[in-house]
Amino acid sequence: MKEFIVRTITAFFIIIFAYGIIKYVPPVYFSAVLFLLISTAAIELVKLSKPAVHSSVVMFLSGITIALSFTFGQPDLPLAVFIIVILTGVFFLLFIKQKENLSTFVRDIGIHFTVVFYLYFPLYYLFKLKVLHPNYLIFLVFVIAVGDSAAYFLGSAFGKHKIYPIASPKKSLEGLLAAIIFAAAAGWAAIRLFPVPGDVDVSDWLVVVTGGIIGLLSQISDPIESLFKRAAQKKDSGSLLPGHGGLLDRVDSYIFCAPALFYIILYFW
């Protein structure tokens, strides 16, 4: 019960903080806050992976490249990738000075690219949603929160068929279905609670389908992050958020969902 209370209190402050920066912080400053949050999650992921050779400076420079690409104009992804590859290559050439490090070179450079492309790229679509309209981002947060809560409570109560026994033993088919159904309903409710711009004419059925897709992707994205923790034999990615673990544990659902919602809105709404 004590853990549940701590978890609930932390969640309350997270919601207040998220709503405040989404609604009231200008895009450029929002991008800066987002960069700091993603970088914190990136540090947690690096600690889980434990590379023999790693430079936080190069990782942050790579993240800044992505942040600038998204913040100022349309993201020039090929150019950003090109710059990141050069930065990474130069770093490893300069700082691998012992033959022992060569044995872990492929693993270390793989960890670097994983951190950059698994976290910074997809999570910066949160910024793109904010620029489209803050309510799109609130829509995403609301739908994921409802879907994840439904998966947790109904999966705990009725879950019998495990779907990710290695990555996430508590995830069940029943919880997955609950997430999809409740996220779909949450999408329908969210579009009324947080209206989109007047020039967007989206049908109810499309909003419901969008919510269901977000619910599904959230339940896929979460266990993938769990694989990193299982490999490191850790329960949480960190201890920054009481009752919730690390920041990475809170943003994992958005890794797939943020880009998905952005492109659904762009091409179908």
Q: What is the pLDDT of residues 46-63, one digit of tens each?
A: 888 766 555 666 777 788
pLDDT of residue 206: 95
Closest CA to 143 of 254, 263, 24: 254
pLDDT of residue 199: 64
Tell the burial category of 144 from Cβ atoms under 10 Å away from its Cβ (0-12, 13-18, 19+): buried
pLDDT of residue 150: 94
The Cα 212–Cα 187 span in angstroms is 8
Write the DSSP symbol of residue 119.
I
The greatest distance separating any two alpha carbons of the chain, rounded to the nearest whole angstrom, comes to 62
Mean confidence (pLDDT) of the chain: 85
What stretches of 159-243 show up as alpha helix (H) in DSSP?
Answer: 173-193, 204-232
pLDDT of residue 2: 67
The per-residue pLDDT for range 177-219, each reduced to its tens digit, is 999 999 999 999 999 999 887 667 788 999 999 999 999 999 9
The Cα 209–Cα 206 span in angstroms is 5
CB atoms within 10 A of CB 18: 15
- The domains of the chain are located at 2-268
What does each C-alpha distance from 55 to 51, 62, 92, 182 come to in angstroms? 10, 11, 9, 42
Regions in the chain scoring below 50 on pLDDT:
none
pLDDT of residue 115: 83
CB atoms within 10 A of CB 259: 19
